[in-house]
Structure 1
Amino acid sequence: MRYKPLRFELECVEPGALPRFKGFAVRGMLLRRLKERFPGFVRRFLYGNHPIPAVTQVPPLTDERMVDVGDIVSFRLNLFGDAVDRDYEIILALVDGELRLGSARFVLRRVEHAETGEPVWDESAYRCVKPEKLDAREPVGRYLVVTFTTPTYIVHDGKPRVPKFHMIVRNAARKFTMLHRRFGLEGLTRRQARNIIEWAERAETIRMDYRFETLERRSARLGRHVFRTIVGTFVYELPPEPPDRVGEVLAFAEVYGVGKFNTAGLGRFVLGEAG
């Protein structure tokens, strides 16, 4: 699957306060601007019964909530599938209108490729950059380290959970298949998904180092929603003989995120191997 990671830099022009976790504010700002400027983009990519092919990635939790004139706030936006060819619409929507995060006001100063630093837009020009292709991860060893870098909210059997490995993989496999099929690509077959999940269910959690973080979300439709998330590191002992396509699912999940509200930046993690 094609994807394009973009990094946006916003400069504060009117001081104010930001929420502790900025993901919901960034996603709300993007939706408001796109609805006003390019409603067709919203209908095509941001609503429906499938995962949203554009996810935000923001800095971790921080107690620094006040911003002053000239301060820079940045965020990353990962575009997937056909959405990679429509990045200019997102940029134009942010250039044209008022940008507010919390009570502060911003203007867009720069957009660049999030991994190479190649400029995409500044105040003088827009430059097209090629999308990336998500490749499968190399085979993992016996011990896998999963470090959640932003708050993560995984629900299993109807309840929020401290994640076991199979919960991460089950959630990632579902998002992987739904997003691929949305763009006419080959997702997981039922047999492949079952083999991956059954393999993941045999993994053991051998070490956990995490903390709970309480977040608050407000929306016009749902009102105030307070929920408890986790941030931290988990070490899993994996069973032998990983099944087909599990490397693709893990590579996708590292970029797309897992759990609820991943399109607002929750559920970001990095993978590593323990000795």
Structure 2
Amino acid sequence: MTQHSRDTPQFYLTAPSPCPYLPGRHERKVFTHLVGDKAGDLNDLLTHGGFRRSQSIAYRPACDNCRACVSVRVIANEFRPSRNFRKVLARNSDIVGELRAAAPTSEQYSVFRAYLDERHRHGGMADMTVLDYAMMVEDTHVQTRLIEYRTRGPDSGITGRGERLIAVALTDILSDGLSMVYSFFEPTEHDRSLGTYMILDHISRARRMGLPYVYLGYWIEGSKKMDYKGRFLPQQRLAPSGWLRIDAGGGAAEPQD
């Protein structure tokens, strides 16, 4: 019987289940556990290969006869906001974003619960309790942070902290970028486009941190839930031949390192 090292990842394949993004299709995932001292290095390596993290699990779609899920990462230093993106930034100029340790709070869960009830009441996360939320935030063996977005108060310039919490992003800090694991926001703030704003903020943060990429997860052409990620250009999309650069107009360039 072969004895595997604790640091050697073992990969597993899930059973087929209905695809949450494309009607009439089924999904399967390959996954492994992110544990131990080398979890951060493994998470880096797997993210570069198209995996995503959920708690202490790294997973990637492995569907039969379907390759619709495409990993995307924005090229932070070359990104220039379009006119529409600049409008989103202007609408949210009263927001303060604070990078914090990955520690859950009841205030965060209140926004999270409102977000699920409004946007994903029939989704797989709809029944998540406050303990489930705490596990989502805390169950990590990699460098993870929370970014809290608050409206700017009269003392914000002094304390660096805003007032009312309206959005949160759970983000991994990788060797070459920021990976947006999960984000949510106050659903009553319809006009702010907070999902878009958080991506724009992450691009700015990555640039300031000297990190070349912002990993957005999977772009799925034709999926209303995922197609928006294709708007943040230039970006790279993972193909069998490697990361392909996509510029305005959708043209693909040669594989990138």
- Give the TM-score range, shorter chain: under 0.3
Please state which structure has a larger fraction of its residues in strand: 1
TM, length-normalised to structure 1: 0.25
Higher relative contact order by CA 8 Å / sep ≥ 6: 1 or 2? 1
TM, length-normalised to structure 2: 0.26
